[in-house]
Amino acid sequence: MKTLVVCSGGLDSVTLAHRIAAQDGLERLISFNYGQRHLVELHGAVTCGKRLSVPHDTIDISGVGKLIKGSALTDFAGPSGVEVPEGHYESQSMAATVVPNRNAIMLSIAFGVASATGCSAVATAIHGGDHFIYADCRPGFANAFAHMQEHSLEGMNSPQLLTPYIASSKADIASDAARYQVPIDETWSCYKGGDIHCGRCGTCVERIEALHHAGVTDPTEYEDSEFWKTAEREG
């Protein structure tokens, strides 16, 4: 199956790319610059494409991101910018990181590219741990989107949507990262987008917890490598 993977450069999507490559199905990667605060994550996607020897395209939709206000990921310029919350990933404060319709926008473009380039599937790494916060990571969204695409591409090459982690935990993905020999330190999770992972934002805490619970060595450098222990107890 020729599969296009939506790859942000984070642990989840890079692991997914490695998993599909191991199954001899990886055709290409696609990433998006949506004006995100943590634009550094895209380096992980570029590196992944080179490592797996597949075409990789980065689509610039940053103009759309500028119009989507109120999210800590896209609305961060100036004194009125939204701060990235710290603490456990499942905290209600993480709602500040929701970018409205992000997955629908990206997947729509990905399906168009996949259809035009002869791919038979589009894969995305949405997972069970995201369901609490992100509506566009839930099974209902994935099923509805796949159904919509069947109508949108009727009479054309119509790829299927693959979501192999949709019922899995982040720790399951961490286990796959080890299984498929993902260079974890070449992936990026931190929403703050600094020079190194902060260790305090929700995505950093989730990353550290997942690798810890999966028993996978974490080579990532963090500004605060101990904060997650307090956040886990409070969560």
Rg (CA), the chain: 17
Task: Give pTM, 2 decimals.
Answer: 0.95
* 170's tokens: 């982040």
pLDDT at 133: 85
Residue 85 has what DSSP assignment?
A: P
In the numeric block, the tokens 């992972």 are attached to 197
Which residues have C-beta within 8 Å of that of residue 72, sequence separation ≥ 6?
37, 82, 83, 84, 85, 96, 97, 191
pLDDT at 233: 53
Q: How far apart are CA 151 and CA 128, in angstroms?
A: 27
Q: Are 167 and 128 in contact (CB under 8 A)?
A: yes
pLDDT at 59: 98
Q: How far apart are CA 202 and CA 191, in angstroms?
A: 8
pLDDT at 42: 98
Residue-wise pLDDT tens for the chain (235 aa)? 899 999 999 999 999 999 999 999 999 999 999 999 999 999 999 999 999 999 999 999 999 998 988 999 999 887 778 999 998 877 677 889 999 999 999 999 999 999 999 999 999 999 998 777 899 999 999 999 999 999 999 999 999 999 999 999 999 999 999 999 999 999 999 999 999 999 999 999 999 999 999 999 999 999 999 998 887 555 5
**CA dihedral angle for residue 90, residue 96, residue 97, residue 99, rounded to 10 degrees:** 130
CATH node for 3-234: 3.40.50.620
Q: Where are the domains of the chain?
A: 3-234
